[in-house]
Homo-oligomer: A and B are copies of this chain.
Amino acid sequence: MHAFDILGDPVRRRILELLADAELPAGSIASTIGAEFGISQPAVSQHLRVLRDNGFATVTVDGTRRLYAVAPAPLQEIDAWLDRYRKFWTNRLDALDTELRRGRRAAQRTPEDGPK
């Protein structure tokens, strides 16, 4: 299952939104999501498994609780995939900013970039 498929499901997206702000135990996620979407606790657990199995979340065991947290790698991959489209909504100065932000050391000068 591709990262985009994982995020295609609104329940999983919402779970990740909850986890964006703080780590949460499975039970807390299950009650929030269960209430919001009207689905059962096992359904939520299955979504958590998908998130785990695909690297979107990590778990730390705490007694009988499982604390879920965002694992950013696949999200960052998606961010990288979007790079090729940023030119459609980012102006030239923004693009330079982005280059710098990403730590590039030198930029290839294109003809029309040359001074005057």
Min CB gap A34→B, angstroms: 21
Query: CA A72 – CA B89 in complex, angstroms?
Result: 7
Query: How many copies of the polypeptide does the oligomer hold?
Result: 2
Binary B-proximity of A1-25 (CB < 8 A = 1, otherwise 0): 0101101101001001100100000
Min CB gap A21→B, angstroms: 8
- Cross-chain contact of A76 among B13, B20, B89, B97 (Cβ < 8 A): B89
Say yes or no: B101 contacts A88, CB within 8 Å: no
- Cross-chain contact of A4 among B7, B72, B88 (Cβ < 8 A): B7
Binding site for B on A (CB under 8 A): 2, 4-5, 7-8, 10, 13, 16-17, 20, 70, 72, 75-76, 78-79, 81-82, 84-86, 88-90, 94, 97-98, 100-101
